[in-house]
Structure 1
Amino acid sequence: AMKISRGEERIFVWCFLLAMMEIEGWAEIQTRHIFIDDPVSSLDDHNIFVTASTLYDLIEKHFNERKIIIATHHYGLFSILSNWLKKGEMSSKFKNNLKSRILSRKHGEFSLESIRGDVFLYHLRVLQILKQAQKDGEVHPYHLALLRQVLENVSSFLGDGRISKVLKSIGFENAEEITRIVHTLTHKNVYYYEPNILVPDNLALFDEILEKLNTHYEFVIRVSKS
């Protein structure tokens, strides 16, 4: 017998899944739906981007022939993957095939709720995640992507669509330069090579944007004690 680590086990499972996706000899009923449950439960935060990118590539390749259902408890993975599919360069081709839902429990009953009806609470939750990571000293590269999403949604709410305008309104004189930096740091291909920590300059930028955003718009965000 050979003992393998949990990480090696996860790699094996992923290899098995990827191989199954390529097999064409299955009966139609066996490949009509592909259900991927909680793919990041034992991965570190850096690998969330790699996992999201892998899932995105699978969806792009197979979404016309198969229905792919992904369930996750990780807000970061959900938010990043949903954003790529809804607002990415190829979002138009997914438009009629994509549904994003949040499992909610109210009055003892569970229901799948559309994000549209919960937009305000959803983005407060993202901001809460960012503040908690900042407080705990656990800010990872993927948190920058979540921060970018908040900026994009604020700019969309204001009717402009440019995050540079939001950055300028919260006090950045070099808003265009900061926008380019944020876009570069949050490009999905970067995360195959990025370490799991932010360099001091990028961490300082994250802190400054988050602080100015919360101060300007007076978001009330509560985080748990360490």
Structure 2
Amino acid sequence: MSKTLKEIAQQLRASDTKVQLIYAFNGTGKTRLSREFKELAAEEIDVNGEDLESSDLARKNVLYYNAFTEDLFFWDNDLNGDEDRKLRIHPNAFTKWVLEEQGQGPTIIDYFQKLTNSNVEPQFSADFSEIYFTKRGDAEHARIKISKGEESNLIWCVFYSLLELIVEELGTAAEKRSTADFNQLKYVFIDDPVSSLDDNHLIELAVDIAKLVKSSSAGLKFIITTHNPLFYNILSNEFNNKLAKDPDAENIEWLYKPANAKKFRLDKKADGTFELALLDRKVPFSYHLHLLSEIRSAISNGQLRKYHFSFLRNIFEKTATFLGHDHWESLLPKAADGNPDPFFNRVLNLSSHSAHAAEEAGEVEARDKNKLEELVGFLSSKYGFWNEPLDVPND
């Protein structure tokens, strides 16, 4: 059933699930969803009964990372001198605590360099209001401006260091905590931390996040959104594994079980509403598998349209690339002469390159429908795709 983003945020907030992992294409509304969630969570705070002497941190029940987090950091490009470039930090309670009170500057720098393999060396100013960047080995220590991707990764490292400390605090008995500032924290919303990382570091990042989530206190809930299939799949796989408090104990106490996670796909409808589709816990998400699922569903429901032929061609192209073929047509069924069957080729090409947009929603001839079904069956059996339709129930 279609919903507004606010209604989906309400659904996420009402869930008792430890972690909710959401895949969505870019532009779907992930960042807006994080804002809706933040505003809903803020309504839970008892403003009238709060301690006026409490810190800014103690009055927050949600920690979030999204595009607005990056807005806390802004560049001073030294337009006059063109030498003293620095990244400034807007005053805020979170960076003040993690940098000034907890002294996490060196940890953040180490994590940034580990995550990026960069020769860039960040340096925090004495009052932690600015960050300078130099290149390793530069004897002159010239201050440089880093790329947008490097900047995003550094900001993520600041957030991650903060999150690690919070998880550690909340994992300690309340009377033994070094601060009570996070006792009210209930939610962590992480929106697309992926930026300019190669696959190896992306996998490392996903594993780190999953480990931190699974080891966190039972009262802390996480919502993680991403547009990256690899990042989603690594997190999904990690959340399918248990985590024991002490794996060597005679009676194992589980900190985390796979039932503590739910996986979703967020879709935006043509009318501007949204659908949060529940994904099977054991089914990995990949774009080409999603397309194949859509085609199979259309076949089952008798709703084949011309754009489904484009979907199938896309799957053949991705499969050909994976198998090392120069031309996707070489994967098609063979005719009697040993060459790719020209009829299958024609069907996919004609239906994938309609001259008018209106044709894309047009009816498909029965003969072409039969050929598409035949191709789907051939693709599944010949190249090892799962033969059953992917079960994607609605939540």
The structure carrying a bigger strand percent of its residues is: 2
TM-score with structure 1 length normalisation?
0.50
TM-score with structure 2 length normalisation?
0.31
